[in-house]
Chains A and B, each alone.
Chain A
Amino acid sequence: MSLLSSIRTIAIWEIKRSMSTMGKGILPLAVVLLLLLVLVTAFAAESGLHLQDGMYRIGVDDPDTARIVASDTRFVTYLDDGASLRENRFSYDIVIINGEVYAVDTDKGRAALNTLERDYESYVASVAAAEPDLFAAYPLWIDLQYVKSEIDFLATQSGQQVGAPVETKRPPTPSLPVEEVTPPSQGKLTTEEELREHLIESGDGQPLKRYTSLISGESTTDRLLTPSELSPPLPFDTIILVFVFIFPLYFTSQFFMMSVMNERVGRAGEALLSAPVRQAAIVVGKALPYFTIMILIAAAITLFARAPLTILLPLIPVILFFLANALIIGMTSRSFKELSFISIFFSTIATSYLFFPTVFANTHVISIVSPLTLVVLAIQGDGFTAMEYLYSTALFFATSIILFYVGIANFREEHLFSERRLTSRVVDFISTGISRNHPHLSLFLLAAFMIPFVFMAEMLTLVLFFNIPMPLSLLLLTLTAAVIEEFAKSIGLYAIARDRPGFLTVKNLLIGATVTGLGFLVGEKLLLFATLAQITESIFGSILFLSLQALWMPLLLHIAGVLITGGFLLLGGRRAYAPGIVAAGIVHSLYNLYFIGGMLL
């Protein structure tokens, strides 16, 4: 049977089987739940979401004032006369006596005051919107225009502070040629009726509208705003994209994960493994239906949101990444509960990895490490270049392909049905990749293939340490980066030491360390120059990828790191592995710190 036709057979078989297990009793209940969901949504829309009800207590001496906050459920209003309000003022967060607002001096009191001020603003707006002479009530309108910056974020890239600190009397003169601009026309851009309507509409204060308009690609710049409507662009608007696009994809990948797991439960997959098809055909055939469904879901959401279909392109590597991880998690977990915990853990990390950089879409080069940034750019109508696509998806493609390869290579009886611990199963998987005849070549390749994972892990540490004050964050980043790299480099040696203790001689260790260091360096260079060259220019990049300047120094460092860990393994056995990594990590960080110190001083 050719590979393609066997993939097709497996895919059809997978669809049929999941239909039969899922079909039993699922469909009627799913339909009922869907109907319930519609009903409940209608009920929730009618009644509103009561999450923040009654957070603040407010004491008021005048029924007219009480009406201002009447519609805001966050306030519980108490109507009382001024004297007793004054007496019991400490049981309220805010007291309003004779139009004077008093707030308790706590975080809560200040938050309540903020909320009240916003309520008051919308109350004033609603009064003003009823004025017959609208332009006396709203004399000032803002036409907000966004301009695209032509400088490639040089300031933020080098870790500098945003802003222009230089103070001069003379206006700055642009260096590029000045285009002739016609001043904006001063005729009324919109009619009075439209503006009035818009005022009443925005008085509702629907926070969700912001998100629905973001999804449907509506922009707020095509109409006039009052000054109080000017709000800074929310950086976490993009989190809604995570939910809309990423969550359904992740959810579907769960079915694949479960299908892989089901093959292992009670050795159910034995029949499949004994079929005359290659392992690659089995894995790809099983994954194919889920991949297709995920693409269809993404396309449906895109069409529904009326977004350009090009956003499917950056989603493909994300889908592959989810499927690859689902495969590995399904193959490694021992029990359902382990499966649940690992997949929740993985999804949180993957989601934050996808989400975090998009906060800086358009601002910082780091944003391109997430394919989701490209989705944001495409929805904004900016599009992305092929180069940017390569930048932001290369890591995802590389890790997915490597993970799929690992999964396929290990999709065998002795690994699928073993009951060993999670960590030792992972080592099993790695050890499969080390050839018996050419162990050194395998170590070289393994080290090179570890690079995308190392980069991903280091990017994540960047996310975590971003908000810690500067010298400490650099130190922590250096330490964790060093430990991650040392761990990644030595994992191959560890696998060999476990499965073939006789292999670990002084001579083999020296050769092994050299090829590992070399492989690591080659992989690093390839990936760096191909994709992340831009990031290396920022100050954080220079810590993560310090070893760019000279070639022989980092090579020696990488080899020395592996030698230290390997030496610990050689002398102390597998129990010395963890101390070995720590020791190598410390040496590695000292080297890095020495260079950063020299660079910064």
Chain B
Amino acid sequence: MNRRHINLIAKKEIAGLSSEKTIVFAILLQVFIAMFSSFLMVGLTAMYDPESIEGYSTVTYRVGYAGAESPLIDQFAKRDDLILYRMDLGEALAALRERMVSAVVYVPDTPPDAEDPVTVTLYLIQNDLQSGVVNVKIKEVLQDYEEQLREIRADRLIYSPVELNFPDSGGGESFFEFVYGLLIPLLVFLPAIVSAALIIDLITEEYQRQTLETLLSTPITFTEVIWGKIAACEVLVPLQAGAWLILLWLNGIPVNNVMAILLHVSTSGLVLILLGALVALHYRERTSAQFIFSTALVVVFLFVMAVPYNPLNLIVRLAVDSIGPTHWLVLALVAAATALLGWAITVYARRVGEKSP
């Protein structure tokens, strides 16, 4: 194989990509997804942690209370964001339907130390953003009440769990796990998947448009053509993944160990690209190749995710800086697998090239 020939092919493919402006679509897509996920996050944070959004903190919610007198009333009195109104149940429910109250609780006359549990009925408006906020607040009240009831009935308990004292965390759902444990590995791996789909397009196109003969009439061999295309696709992976990381950083989400992450994505991405190339060489027709490849992709991803210390997991660990040098070992293993696949491609391409020059 001649490195200059491979470079030539790779340059030709990248020039093709930029002249068709398809790369513009890729960039637009990135920006769009970034905006969309930031929408999701702001929207969801507002829902789960209403206090984090200014303006919500002053809002009080009205709760209708019906049924028997109970210590729950005192629990509600401790909150300044919930106002309790003693009402008749029918009236309270009618008010709820008209959104004059945000929730209704009905408390039975079960004494706190009874044999039976206290079964409180909680009425909320179905599938409503406001219900979500109120739900969180009332849950806290009810948990305090549960604690109180448990203490009253404590002498009937046998087991005692290990006691842990938590510091006051300020509460609230954080999206740390969503961002670092799901969004980042997905976004960083997206370019690898796109590149793998791209190699199929590049290879099948030569067959279906019958441009291969012209290309092979030059001193460039078939194997070099394939490796040139692979190189073009591979270059895009760290570039796009890097762009993602920069976008995340601009959004105030810092990622640790950027270089190591890019190395992992490039290596694993190369595995996917080589797989794509193999499928494309076998079918030489886009519909079949893409169909088989996307099905295979599901299998591969599911399998990889089920293995501990998989590359996706390593990206998560690297991003939150929770791993020592162990990840280099995995990288070496993946690189070895890549080399093996690369050798297989070379042999296969040479055979295909000899058969149909």
Contact = CB atoms under 8 A, between A and B. Distances in A.
Contacts of A46: 306
Interface in A170-210: 171-181, 183-184, 186, 188-189
Contacts of A26: 283, 288, 291-292
B287 interface: yes
Given A100-B165, A139-B153, A341-B26, A161 B55 contact: yes
B322 interface: yes
A205 B71 CA distance: 31
A189 B119 contact: yes
Interface in B69-99: 83, 85-91, 93-99
A186 B305 contact: no
Nearest to B110: A186
Interface residues of A, number: 145
A143 B106 CA distance: 9
Interface of B: 16-17, 20-23, 25-26, 28-29, 32-33, 35-36, 38-40, 42-44, 47-48, 55-56, 58-62, 64, 66-67, 83, 85-91, 93-102, 104, 106, 108-110, 112, 115-133, 135-136, 138-139, 142-143, 145-146, 149-150, 152-154, 156-167, 169-170, 173-174, 176-177, 180-182, 185, 194, 197-198, 200-202, 204-205, 208-210, 282-283, 285-288, 290-292, 294-296, 298-299, 302-303, 305-310, 312-313, 316-317, 320, 322-323
Contact of B322 (A30, A76, A107, A164): A76
Given A55-B320, A133-B156, A163 B117 contact: no
A51 B174 contact: no
A560 interface: no
Contacts of A117: 166, 169
A99 B174 contact: no
A601 to B, nearest CB: 21
A236 B104 CA distance: 26
Given A25-B288, A188-B116, A236 B306 contact: no
Contact of B126 (A30, A76, A146, A155): A146
B94 A176 contact: yes
Contact of B90 (A150, A179, A348): A179
Contact of A107 (B39, B176, B303): B176
A96 interface: yes
A363 B128 contact: yes
A49 B127 CA distance: 30
A155 B316 CA distance: 42
Given A33-B296, A464-B35, A51 B182 contact: yes
A174 B91 contact: yes
B142 A227 contact: yes
A530 interface: no
A198 to B, nearest CB: 13
B18 to A, nearest CB: 11
Contact of B287 (A127, A230, A258): A258
17 contacts: A18-B287, A21-B287, A22-B291, A25-B288, A33-B296, A49-B305, A99-B164, A101-B166, A110-B174, A110-B176, A117-B169, A127-B159, A149-B98, A178-B94, A235-B44, A251-B294, A464-B32
A396 to B, nearest CB: 20
A473 to B, nearest CB: 11
A119 B115 CA distance: 29
Nearest to A364: B129
A137 interface: yes
A147 B126 contact: yes
A42 to B, nearest CB: 10
Given A43-B303, A165-B59, A337-B205, A175 B98 contact: yes
Contacts, number: 428
A65 B39 CA distance: 39
A52 B36 contact: no
Interface stretch (A313-321, A354-362, A449-457, A547-555): A354-362
A266 B122 contact: no
Contacts of A37: 295, 298-299, 302
Contacts of A110: 169-170, 174, 176
Given A127-B159, A235-B129, 8 more contacts: A26-B288, A37-B299, A103-B167, A183-B66, A230-B138, A337-B202, A341-B22, A467-B38
B17 A230 contact: no
A180 B289 CA distance: 66
A362 B131 CA distance: 12
A435 interface: no
Interface string A99-130: 11111000110110111110010011001101
Contacts of B130: 162-163
A300 interface: no
A333 to B, nearest CB: 9
Given A22-B288, A144-B122, A174-B100, A340 B198 contact: yes
Nearest to B128: A363
Given A30-B295, A50-B313, A55 B180 contact: yes
A156 B164 CA distance: 42
Contacts of A68: 162, 164
A172 B85 contact: yes
Nearest to A45: B306
Interface string A33-57: 1101100110110111111111111
Interface string A136-164: 11111111111111110001100001111
A174 B303 CA distance: 57
B99 A40 contact: no
B22 A143 contact: no
B130 to A, nearest CB: 4
B21 A422 contact: yes
B106 A184 contact: yes
Contact of A150 (B97, B197, B282): B97
A466 B183 CA distance: 20
Contact of B288 (A21, A139, A254, A340): A21
B94 A111 contact: no
A178 B90 contact: yes
A519 to B, nearest CB: 29
A575 interface: no
A240 to B, nearest CB: 14
B23 to A, nearest CB: 8
Nearest to B95: A174
A227 B145 contact: yes
A149 B204 CA distance: 56
B47 A167 contact: no
Contacts of B303: 40, 43-44
B302 A41 contact: yes
Given A55-B181, A184-B121, A33 B100 contact: no
Contact of A130 (B135, B159, B202, B283): B159
A329 to B, nearest CB: 11
A84 B200 CA distance: 55
A139 B150 contact: yes
B122 A145 contact: yes
A235 B112 CA distance: 36
A299 to B, nearest CB: 22
Contacts of B98: 149-151, 174-176
A277 interface: no
A387 interface: no
A50 B306 contact: yes
Given A49-B306, A51-B185, A172-B85, A149 B97 contact: yes
Contact of B197 (A53, A340, A422, A467): A340
A525 interface: no
B39 A463 contact: yes
A314 B29 CA distance: 27
A337 B17 contact: yes
A30 B106 contact: no
A571 interface: no
A140 B149 contact: yes
A310 to B, nearest CB: 19
B131 A233 contact: yes
A229 to B, nearest CB: 9
